[in-house]
Structure 1
Amino acid sequence: MTKLIIIIILAVTGLVFGPVLAGNKGYVLIALGTHTIEMTAVVFGFLVLLGILSIWLTEWLLKRTINATRSARELISGRRRRQSRKFTRSGLLALMSGEWANAEKLMTKGAKGSALPVINYLGAAEAAQAQQQVDRRDHYLQLAHKKQGDNPLAVSLTQARLQIQQGQKEQALATLSTIQKEHPDNPHAVMLLKDLYLQLEDWANLLDLITPLKQSKRLTADELASLELTAHQGYFSQLSSHQGAKGLATHWEGLSRKLKQEPALVTSYVKQMLALGEDEAMQPLVIKTLRKQIVPELLAMVTELKGDAESLLLEAKHWLKGQSENPLLLSVLGQLSLRAGRIEDAKTYLEKSLRISPSAEAHAALAEVFAQNQQPQEAFKQYRQSLALATPATKAI
């Protein structure tokens, strides 16, 4: 605009002073080496004005051409973006509908022209895995890594999750280990590690993960308690196999007082120790726990204790308070009475237990009672009933 005003001023000046200059034409000499150009001042002025107009016109045409090109490029780019958004929306809907092949096709199409192609490639990876096309999934994940921009964590987390779902435990562990080094407090990574450790039955590492899981606030208090209990129970089993009673006892002593009072955990610990022949060491813990609460699984283990039958029987009778109709307790009392040589008491307890709820153990113990009373037919009958309860029924083919 400024240039145009200057040109108009020059043109007006020429029109005003042109006639004056016409009477006094002046003289302009331009020398270029051995060549010279001569002209009047008026002609020189018009040439200068013409040159300025030519430059302005050229600049104007160039700007119009550039603007037209930019507009065309933006139009094409805008059309591509609109198509990309359309493909992406349709692909996400197909992904949510379980139309895996269509979702993969649409998400890859939508990646072209997308402002955030990483989303498309991650969606395509999900769809490919759902079709068991692991190679294609990995290809899309590689493309997502290249397009991840400022958020590489999202791609790595998705990769780890897909690897876990596919059962690629070692690969998932490597991916999550890398994430943990760079983002140790990421709650989603912690939850994925929890799922992976459960699959691997890596109870030691799962126990170490309990505190980060609490901090993540992704699980309820009940879920955390259940998970910790499961981890300890699994760890007991591993310790029993690899470190024996000493390893089990050491781990047990290191537990908090609260955990040591957890009935299910006590039961699991006692079970493993009894399997290792540590019944004498377990008897005080079993009795202490059952005095506070009748835990069925733990109560059933009382008959496995090899302590004095009379002492155990006397202790078990105290548990009858409020539990006089408990068939399991009555069965245990019957079996302990049998061990102590109190045959009639055993018969009374066992028959009452069976009237309330039949069990293989009570029938077997009662069979022994009849055998000692020289009643073979009754003993045989009880053995058969015990066997029938102990053996799952099978259908004839």
Structure 2
Amino acid sequence: MKKVVLLIIIALVAALALGRWMAADSGYVLIIRDSVSVDTTLGFVVLMALLGAVALVVLTLLGNAAWNAMEPVRATRRWKKAVAERRLRSGFLQLVDGEQEKAERLLVAAGEDGDWPLVAWLLAAEAAQEQDKVEASQHYLEQASTDRRGRLVAGLMKARFALDDGYPEQARSELKVLADMAPRNKRILNTYAEVLESQKDWQALCALMPRLKRAFGEANQARRERRAWLAWLQETARKPGFNDADSRRDELRKLWKDVPVHLKNDPAMVARYAGFLAQLGGGRGALNLVREQLGNQWDDRLPPVLEAIDDIPPDDLLQVLEKW
């Protein structure tokens, strides 16, 4: 808008200057061709030249518009786009009304010819999925994925469809790729975390926690992080097929080193770890850990851990309890 105003001002100033120049001396122009001669003022010639230029521009614009309106290829393309827009609107309304078959047919046609193929293919996939046409919905999502902006949303819909159909592994595989592509996408990360929780893959969930905390904030993920690490500790301590208590105890101690520092100061986390350690024959280490934690802050969940210690004489444990 500023450029247009500036051009208008420049044109007015130029016209004013030209008018003053012509008023001071109108000039004289003589044109002779064979036996024909034309004489006029310079102002009239300049005016005719300007009017001719304006007329040429106007005629060019009108001719271009007429050609665009009459040219067969462009007219056909515009007609197809108009039809595709109507199909997209109608398909969406049919989908809302529960007419999935009609909606799918209209939306596929809109995706092939319209200006909004991404929206059309995504809605077509939704319509096909509601009809249990898995192959068709996957095909439509593949079409949507060809759009640069559609890769993430199409992948997320693939994962959702896989979960609805009872294929969590397929959903997990898709979400892992999406999480690597968009490490700050909250919806993808949250869905991925929910899938890992449902599969009880605590190791993968704990590995994902740094990204979850960056995306949602540490306060919003505190309960999930604590729950995941507690479950992983329990899973390690009670791993099936691990009859050697010493090996399980060593693995548990190794895992404890990886626990975040702020969770190592959590009384519930310490009590759970110390209890598992005591059950696996690490009573001395469990007692030292409980004693150290209670020295910093008293918590009623820690003393009961001593009940699980069976490799330290009861009299020694009684002396510790009496001191507390």
> For this structure pair, what is the TM-score category when the shorter chain's length is used for normalisation?
0.5 to 0.7
1:60-99 superposed matches below 5 A: 66=70, 74=78, 77-91=81-95, 93-94=96-97, 99=98
1:1-80 superposed matches below 5 A: 66=70, 74=78, 77-80=81-84
Q: Is structure 2 residue 177 aligned with structure 1 residue 171?
A: no
Structure 2 residue runs without a partner (length 5+) = 1-62
Partners of 1:273 and 1:130 lie apart in 2 by 51
SS in 1 for 2:115: coil
Structure 1 residue runs without a partner (length 5+) = 1-58, 320-397
Deviation at 1:229, TM superposition (A): 1.4
1:1-397 superposed matches below 5 A: 66=70, 74=78, 77-91=81-95, 93-94=96-97, 99=98, 102-103=99-100, 105-113=102-110, 114-129=114-129, 132-146=132-146, 148=147, 150-180=149-179, 182-217=181-216, 220-240=217-237, 241=239, 244-290=248-294, 292-296=297-301, 298-306=302-310, 307-316=312-321
CA separation of 1:131 and 1:64: change in aligned 2, threshold 3 A: closer
Is the 8 Å Cα contact of residues 92 and 123 (structure 2) preserved in structure 1?
no
Partners of 2:307 and 2:143 lie apart in 1 by 63
SS in 1 for 2:299: coil
CA separation of 1:231 and 1:69: change in aligned 2, threshold 3 A: closer
SS in 2 for 1:151: helix
Percent of aligned positions with the same letter in both sequences?
A: 23
Q: Of the two, which has the highest radius of gyration?
A: 1
Partners of 2:158 and 2:149 lie apart in 1 by 17
Deviation at 1:244, TM superposition (A): 0.9
Deviation at 1:236, TM superposition (A): 1.5
RCO comparison, higher one (Cα < 8 Å, 6+): 2
Partners of 1:211 and 1:159 lie apart in 2 by 25
Partners of 2:143 and 2:101 lie apart in 1 by 14
1:1-49 Cα offsets, whole Å, 9 max, x none, are: xxxxxxxxxxxxxxxxxxxxxxxxxxxxxxxxxxxxxxxxxxxxxxxxx
* Structure 1 partner of 2:38: none
Partners of 1:151 and 1:267 lie apart in 2 by 48
CA separation of 1:317 and 1:125: change in aligned 2, threshold 3 A: farther
Partners of 1:215 and 1:64 lie apart in 2 by 53
For 1:294, give the aligned amino acid: D
TM-score, length-normalised on structure 2?
0.62
Partners of 1:268 and 1:139 lie apart in 2 by 49
TM-score, length-normalised on structure 1?
0.52
Deviation at 1:75, TM superposition (A): 5.1
Partners of 1:106 and 1:195 lie apart in 2 by 31
Partners of 1:301 and 1:175 lie apart in 2 by 43
For 2:264, give the aligned amino acid: K
CA separation of 1:162 and 1:64: change in aligned 2, threshold 3 A: closer
SS in 2 for 1:301: helix
Deviation at 1:265, TM superposition (A): 1.4
CA separation of 1:130 and 1:281: change in aligned 2, threshold 3 A: farther
Partners of 2:289 and 2:101 lie apart in 1 by 59
CA separation of 1:133 and 1:63: change in aligned 2, threshold 3 A: closer
CA separation of 1:290 and 1:129: change in aligned 2, threshold 3 A: farther
CA separation of 1:127 and 1:82: change in aligned 2, threshold 3 A: closer
Is the 8 Å Cα contact of residues 108 and 120 (structure 1) preserved in structure 2?
no
CA RMSD of aligned residues (A): 3.6
Is the 8 Å Cα contact of residues 104 and 125 (structure 1) preserved in structure 2?
no
Deviation at 1:262, TM superposition (A): 0.8
Is the 8 Å Cα contact of residues 88 and 106 (structure 2) preserved in structure 1?
yes
For 1:239, give the aligned amino acid: T
